[in-house]
Amino acid sequence: MASVARSDIDTAGLQSRGLRMGIGGVLLLLAVAAEHGFSGLGGLSSIYFLLVMAIIYVPPWESVPYVGRYARAGIAIIIAFTYPFFWDKLFTVPIFGEFPSVSTGVVMLVFIMMAVGLNIVVGYAGLLDLGYVAFYAIGAYVAAWFASVQFAHVNVHFGAVGVGQNVPGFHISIWLLLIAAGFLTSMVGVVIGLPTLRLRGDYLAIVTLGFGEILPQIARNSDNFFGTGFNLTNGPNGITPIDAPGFFGVNYLTGSGTFWTSERLFYWTGLLLLLFTIFCSVRLRDSRLGRAWIAIREDETAAAAMGVPLMRTKTWAYASGAFFGGIAGAYYASFKSATFPGDFFFNISVFILCMVILGGMGNIWGVIFGGAFLAYLDQEGLADSGSWISTHLHLNFNVPEYESGIFGVILLVVMLFRPEGLIPSTRRAAEFHEGGEYAEEYLYDVQHEGN
Amino acid sequence: MVSEASQQPLAARTGYRPSVTGIVGLSLVLLLLVWLGINFYKTPSDFIQIFLIGFTLGALYALIALGYTLVYGILELINFAHGDVFMLGSMMAVTVVGTSLFDLHQGQAWYVLWPLVLVALLICMAFCGGLNVTVELIAYRRLRHAPRLAPLITAIGASFILQNVGLAWKGPNYVQTASVLPRGNVFSTHGVEYTWEKLIVLIVTTPVLLLLVWLVQRTRQGKAMRAVAQDTDAAAMMGINVNRTISFTFLIAGALAGVAGLLYALYAGSVRFDQGFQLGLIAFTAAVFGGIGNLPGAVLGAVLIGLIQAFNEGLSWHAPGSDWTQSIVFTLLILILVFRPEGLLGERTPEGG
């Protein structure tokens, strides 16, 4: 019983054996069909792909004693770690083309991290945060200030790999900066949260949106910091280059040999950071604090009556969400080797929110899926599908230009037809469909079909 | 200026004991007044000129802010898409005014110009009203009993979609409006010039606002709107068609955005697909400033925000400048929401806003 309650795979309805066998059979049939002729699917690689899917999904892993609970996650982690070795040998997907490259994979990992962080605020605690980009910005600027030549009048070196001793500016090890960015960002989260978390949901959303707009503007205008002549952020030109991380004398920018290439190093490190984020998120969810978040989300008044301290619990949600946003921002800045105020628009906040909502608010696996898919669309998918559309349908339609509109459609369609997301948590789904049959009768007529 | 207002009810209850936020707020307002006074003393004609610009801007913002406040009053929903409805209205205005059918150009006789501008105004109002009703029908109606955050999220989605409609319609660059309004000054004394464009904004806005007040206060439909805003279920029991009343509210809000769109296109001279987001947020701040759900409050808040923006961008002595306008407006928004969520004219509610 305990293993069911604490099971990390918190998906509704996909657990029945019959369904699983059916899907497995379809996958195997597809694999066989692919072998006999579907050359368009890329020959052998598609068979391997389907077989691996079947191995993950079909066997009743959770009934294996002791290790069974971790089997699926373990296989997924192994596949993720070995991805750089086989991504270019995979089949091409119709319309979307090839699988994402390793450097796209790094961006995807960073955005999944942010989505998992935002999920703590939006999914667990139910506080709509429209300014998450502010935390990303703070993290990015922490990395930019303390690992670049921005403050050229000082010369502080501490643990930076591959930076000459006479290069001016702060050059602190990125590993330390990741931690520092996380803590600084969560402190800012507390500072923002303390006065505002008393507000009701939609007002809170507006206030966070306000912060998300103010901070980038400060970044844009602070090449002359409030008229003092102090160049804090280098204004719209941004801060570049930013040091890459490194260890044992291997700098991530150059890599080492043909095996430890730059993008592989960034990819694996990003994957480790993401695993850390997921681990923390899952443990937080199951902790006393996490249960308090969910209680607040479901009914604030009832939670307060049961003795949950509202302000403190909400502030913790803010701080934890911000922490991961800060780490992801700092890591991304180091990967791109640049930070521009133009990166921190409202669009990014909505982009990350869209990942959380598409995947399923509150369910970490859904959020990972949503984050991976949308970040892939943003980086490669839209451009690839756009070029497919223009060559095959002869439409002169620049798909990436309408990215935000596509995200708008996703938000709208998901909220209208499946508010619990594609891979919902059982509990969240129940909240959205609260009172399906036993709802109180509404006195006036609203279309309810489909709900 | 926020906390000055919040000082009074607080002080009344606690027997005039000054609170920290009250003192800080008062001193901030005093600083602001001193800053304005010094600016007035240094460059009086500029000051008055900027005041007039700010007042005109405020009138424009009032039209948009009223749309937010009407919808919030009835549904308690922040209609994020409203700013983009306004943006599409201004694009419609650019199209209609520029159409060769109308043949509008500079220096046309008044008896040709004004009826055609009025026709353009009606087209924009109908377009935006219809658009707003459609948005409500598609994005909000199904979610009326969903958790509060669900319609807010669809509102953001609708806003992005409309923004992209504007992008597809007019492209990513600024679109110039045909210049049709009479040029020149209404009067010009002591270096203060009052141009026709500014006057026209007021000439159009004032009757629209009066009409709105009449509609809400005096007509049967307005009474239905107020009833639904007060208690939806009770209104339904009294035989009011709630869905139709809500649609009507969205129609009115959209029509106001259409008026604002036409005036903005003529006054500012160019429109772009992303103007709606920013101006929408400024107008929303104005609505919150005055007390959301409160019609005179929205107008008052809009005029104050217009003045703040104009003073910030126009004054020469220690003004932060247009780079900071957005930050100032949002800081104001946050301060209001934190310290006086009911706004200047609103009433305190049990939920605290």
Could you tell me if B286 and B304 are in contact, meaning their C-beta atoms sit under 8 angstroms apart? yes
| CATH code, domain carrying B281 | 1.10.3470
CB contact under 8 A, A217 and B147: no
Total domain count, chain B: 1
3-class secondary structure, A232: coil
Q: Which amino acid is at A39?
A: S
Over residues A80-97, the pLDDT tens digits come to 888 887 777 666 666 677
Q: How far apart are CA A417 and CA B321, in angstroms?
A: 45
Decide if pLDDT at A5 tops 60: no
Q: What is the 3-state secondary structure (H, E, C) of B181-219?
A: CCCCEEEEECCEEEEHHHHHHHHHHHHHHHHHHHHHHHC
Surface of A (163-192) touching B: CB under 8 A? none
Specify the higher pLDDT residue, A3 or A248. A248
- Considering only the beta carbons, identify the residue of B150, B164, B232 that sits closest to A408: B164
Distance to chain B for A282, nearest Cα, Å: 24
Residue B350 lies in a domain: no
CB contact under 8 A, B165 and A451: no
Residue B34 lies in a domain: no
What is each CA distance from B167 to A396, A405, B130, B302, in whole angstroms? 15, 10, 20, 27
Residue B344 lies in a domain: no
Surface of A (350-409) touching B: CB under 8 A? 350, 353, 357, 401-402, 404-405, 407-409
> Which pLDDT belongs to residue B11?
44
Residue B342: both structure tokens together: 């009911």
Distance to chain A for B352, nearest Cα, Å: 7
Range of the domain at B288: 43-339
Note whether A213 contacts B: Cβ–Cβ < 8 A: yes
Specify the higher pLDDT residue, B257 or A36. B257
Burial of A390 per CB tally in 10 Å (0-12, 13-18, 19+): middle
Residue B272 lies in a domain: yes
Report the residue of B20, B78, B142, B273 to disrupt the A interface, i.e. the one with the largest count of A CBs within 10 Å: B142
CB contact under 8 A, A217 and B323: yes
Task: Enumerate the β-bridge partners of residue A172.
Answer: A158, A159
> Which pLDDT belongs to residue B159?
93
Rounded average pLDDT over B34-48: 81
Distance to chain A for B157, nearest Cα, Å: 4
Looking at beta carbons, which residues of chain A come within 8 Å of B77? 202
Going along chain A from its start, the domains and CATH numbers come out as: 13-91 (no CATH), 96-428 (1.10.3470)
CB contact under 8 A, B157 and A412: yes
Residue B222 lies in a domain: yes
> Which pLDDT belongs to residue B85?
94
Distance to chain A for B188, nearest Cα, Å: 35
Looking at beta carbons, which residues of chain B come within 8 Å of A128? 149, 152-153
Across all residues in chain A, what is the average pLDDT?
A: 79
> Which pLDDT belongs to residue A24?
72
- Considering only the beta carbons, identify the residue of A198, A409, A415 that sits closest to B153: A415
Q: Would strands B185-189 and B175-176 be described as parallel, antiparallel, or unpaired?
A: unpaired
Note whether A207 contacts B: Cβ–Cβ < 8 A: yes
Surface of A (6-65) touching B: CB under 8 A? none
Residue B296 lies in a domain: yes
In chain B, which ranges are E strands?
175-176, 185-189, 192-195, 270-271
Note whether A299 contacts B: Cβ–Cβ < 8 A: no
Could you tell me which of A105, A94, A14, A103 has the C-alpha nearest to residue A60? A14
Over residues B93-135, the pLDDT tens digits come to 888 887 777 766 666 777 777 888 888 899 999 999 999 999 9
What is each CA distance from B68 to A423, B125, B212, B288, in whole angstroms? 34, 16, 14, 9
Looking at beta carbons, which residues of chain B come within 8 Å of A196? 334, 337-338
> Which pLDDT belongs to residue A110?
93
Surface of A (412-441) touching B: CB under 8 A? 412, 415-416, 419, 431-432, 439
Q: In sequence order, what are the residues at sequence separation of 6 or more whose Cβ sits closer than 8 angstroms to the Cβ of residue B173?
A: B272
Cα-Cα-Cα-Cα torsion B296, B298, B304, B306, nearest 10 degrees, comes to -130
Q: How far apart are CA A125 and CA A197, in angstroms?
A: 12
> Which pLDDT belongs to residue A320?
92
> Which pLDDT belongs to residue B350?
43
Nearest CA in chain A to B157: A408
Q: What is the 3-state secondary structure (H, E, C) of B15-62?
A: CCCCCHHHHHHHHHHHHHHHHHHHHHHHCHHHHHHHHHHHHHHHHHHH
Residue B145: both structure tokens together: 């009993």
A-B contacts at Cβ under 8 angstroms: 150
Q: How far apart are CA A373 and CA A355, in angstroms?
A: 8
Specify the higher pLDDT residue, A281 or A445. A281
Rounded average pLDDT over B207-225: 89
pTM beyond 0.80: the answer is: yes
Distance of CA B204 to the CA centre of its chain: 15
Decide if pLDDT at B247 tops 50: yes
Residue A295: both structure tokens together: 């209680």
Put residue B84 in one of left, alpha, beta given phi > 0 → left and psi -120 to 50 → alpha.
alpha
Distance to chain B for A326, nearest Cα, Å: 22
Q: How far apart are CA B163 and CA B81, in angstroms?
A: 9
Residue B234 lies in a domain: yes
> Which pLDDT belongs to residue B127?
94
Q: Which residues of B236-259 are buried (b: 16+ CB within 10 A; e: fewer)?
A: beeebebbebbbbbbbbbbbbbbb
> Which pLDDT belongs to residue B131?
94
Task: Enumerate the β-bridge partners of residue A93.
Answer: A97
Looking at beta carbons, which residues of chain A come within 8 Å of B353? 199-200, 203
